[in-house]
Amino acid sequence: MLVKSLKLFKLLPCRSYNNILLYDNFCTAAYKEERIKVGNCNINYVKVGNGVHNVLCMPGALGSIWTDFKPQVEGFNRDQFTLIAWDPPGYGKSRPPEKKFPTNFYENDADSANEFMKNLGIAKYSLLGWSDGGISSMILAAKYPEAVQKLVVWGTNSFILPHELAVYKKIRDINSWSKRMKEAMVSVYGEELFAKYWSQWVDCMVALYQTCDGDICSNMLKDIKCPTFILYGEKDPLVDKVHVSHLHTRITGSRIQLYPQGKHNIHIAYAEDFNKIVQDFLMQA
């Protein structure tokens, strides 16, 4: 039932492409992309604003600056915030080298993000983490509490449920994707690398489920000490609502915001409202 393009559009875990232009077409001179060395990778990033509150945007699976955080790069208050959006190692334009997907790649991304911000000379910052980026953000906040000021996550999880894994397996083959969605990812990676990345990502989820009983980072949630904001679209077809209560009860002092009609990409579908309430949270003493 998942092979029909309409249903597949609702299930794909990365993002909705209704609000996204093809990757190379959007990257204009209005936003200067820069590069900085982190480990063995030249990280591609955009930095906007002059505010004292630094915010790092963490993309979802196979995500990049413009596929995942265009409304935030454009919409955040630049007097109050300095917003940094990056292509994580191996994603977007932060290549070569290619991305690897061992079962600890979320933690690797968290470590790389912390090193990235250090290399930028930013010792304290908040995190906006969507989907996969939310997982790495939670790990980063748990491992480096001295660096993370506040944490905002949405469409994310700390473990994998059986029916979620079944969805991933059904859409492993990119030829089952709709033409429009496939082209959006091919514009970033090319067809061959996109197919390789996506199958490896799905295989990693299977390995996590088999070797770790689906657990990704649940044991680390207790170590998150910063103020945390958990947002969730109640019609998210990819992240079960049980994850919201799980995160909320295990991250001390966390708060929740629900979007009753929202799906997986609430920061895009409800960009204006999302940006407002997230900025309000970040500015609270």
Q: Tell me: the pLDDT tens digits for 69-108?
A: 999 999 999 999 999 999 999 999 999 999 999 999 999 9
- Catalytic residue of the set 53, 243, 264, 267: 264
> What span, in angstroms and rounded, lies between the C-alpha atoms of 91 and 201?
12
Backbone angles phi, psi at 281, to 5 degrees: -60, -45
> What span, in angstroms and rounded, lies between the C-alpha atoms of 54 and 20?
25
Q: What is residue 175's DSSP assignment?
A: G
Residue 182, number of CB atoms within 10 A of its CB? 19
Structural domains in the chain, CATH included, are 5-283 (3.40.50.1820)
Dihedral, CA atoms, 18, 20, 24, 27, nearest 10 degrees?
160
> What span, in angstroms and rounded, lies between the C-alpha atoms of 282 and 228?
10
Give which of 56, 61, 114, 55 is closest to 86, Cα–Cα: 56
The question of whether 248 is a catalytic residue gets the answer no
> What span, in angstroms and rounded, lies between the C-alpha atoms of 148 and 161?
28
pLDDT digits (tens, 9 = 90+) for 143-188: 999 999 999 999 999 999 999 999 999 989 998 877 877 887 899 9
- Catalytic residue of the set 158, 236, 254, 267: 236
- Catalytic residue of the set 64, 131, 136, 254: 131
Tokens representing residue 73 in the block: 């790069």
Global pTM reads 0.90
The question of whether 158 is a catalytic residue gets the answer no
The question of whether 236 is a catalytic residue gets the answer yes
* Average pLDDT of the segment spanning 121-144: 98
